[in-house]
A and B are shown apart, each in its own frame.
Chain A
């Protein structure tokens, strides 16, 4: 099951050239670009690991692409996303976030039903991938 989250999530995966253009857009607006990765695809897993510091003080997207390539070399079989943080007063939040790399095989989610007292049913989603220990979830990729 293809994971969708953030911007452009219903488009086909962006090419490197398209990623570069988006990153340049963010840099031109003075947003700090971050590279984050995870191997827990659960939608409520908000805080991914960061690859280094946010890329501050750069003028060109080539700097971010260099970091992204380095991150892909190590964590190419996990999810990697690029996000851009706007620090200007009034915003102080993410303005852009999109997935740039995903595992070759995404097993998807199971829906669990916990039956409570009476007719109460609680639903939860579990990623099949997350059943394995961290770091081994997408090792086959």
Chain B
């Protein structure tokens, strides 16, 4: 640290032997640093396993880059206050907010910005108590568990219930805000929730908006991305579509997207689960022995039996 403080123009001469090595000529290879920390592997996994979400990935890369630069600066003795890392993830159901939050903890841990790297997932129930005086200890307990890691608050907007002015959620919010501000280097808070509800939540709690540095919006998936997700999901469960079934599923996705209560990747997962159910039923009802290939393949009829098509056909 003293090296930079003494780095006045007079030290432009080559440093005398025995001078600290991190004099103004010192360099840090960011690429090597990135590789050494294994962040690149996490980011690559993020790219490979999560389909779409381009703005989210860009933002995460930016955050990772900032943290890397911050690390390099610290190594060279350039002092700056620790960056605020609290985040808010907004987006429609099934857009991958929770999945990304888990990855985020890993990235932050590898870069050394959280010391332990555990993720504590909580919802309103875990923070807000049932009677007077119950909330503060409960919230503090959760915060203590999350110290050194990431606190992920799912459906964060439930914390604030404007319709009940004596709601204990407000107490939890106050404690959260205080810790988020005073112990920035001890824990990172990530809040997640559906877009407009979070918007209302932030509007009624302006303290939160200003304390959260990164507001990341998760876009809805496009049709092609949903198909890619389906493929990845099936592959993970050792299933596959027959060519006909794939075609049927493309139609299924197209129809399902226009219907109400569409929850992106979650709807896709549910659709696949139901297709597996029908496949199992078909195999059990059929006669003759089954091969591994039959056990793995989902046929067009498994997909086409969905009532999504029936509903779409109705005028």
Contact = CB atoms under 8 A, between A and B. Distances in A.
Interface in A69-83: none
Contacts of B140: 66
A55 interface: yes
B115 interface: yes
Contacts of A66: 140, 143-144, 147, 179, 183
A18 to B, nearest CB: 17
Interface in B159-188: 179, 183, 186-187
Chain A interface main SS type: mixed
A57 B145 contact: yes
Interface string B137-149: 1001001110111
B211 interface: no
Interface in B177-209: 179, 183, 186-187
B90 to A, nearest CB: 28
A60 B118 CA distance: 10
A110 B84 CA distance: 54
Contact of A60 (B137, B147, B179): B147
Contacts of B186: 60, 62
Interface in A25-59: 52, 55, 57-59
A63 B186 CA distance: 9
A60 B179 CA distance: 15
A59 B147 CA distance: 7
A67 interface: yes
A114 to B, nearest CB: 47
A26 B115 CA distance: 16
Nearest to B149: A59
Interface residues of B, number: 15
Interface string A125-140: 0000000000000000
B116 interface: yes
Interface residues of A, number: 11
A45 B187 CA distance: 37
A52 B136 CA distance: 13
B118 A62 contact: no
A33 to B, nearest CB: 11
A134 B143 CA distance: 33
A79 B144 CA distance: 24
Contact of B148 (A52, A57, A59): A59
Contact of B145 (A61, A63, A67): A63
A92 B143 CA distance: 27
A60 B183 contact: no
A66 to B, nearest CB: 7
A60 B109 CA distance: 13
A62 B183 CA distance: 9
Interface of A: 52, 55, 57-63, 66-67
Given A59-B147, A66-B147, 14 more contacts: A52-B137, A57-B145, A59-B149, A60-B115, A60-B116, A60-B149, A61-B147, A62-B147, A62-B183, A63-B143, A63-B147, A66-B144, A66-B179, A66-B183
21 contacts: A52-B137, A57-B145, A58-B144, A58-B145, A59-B116, A59-B145, A59-B147, A59-B148, A60-B116, A60-B147, A60-B148, A60-B186, A61-B147, A62-B183, A62-B187, A63-B145, A66-B140, A66-B143, A66-B144, A66-B147, A67-B144
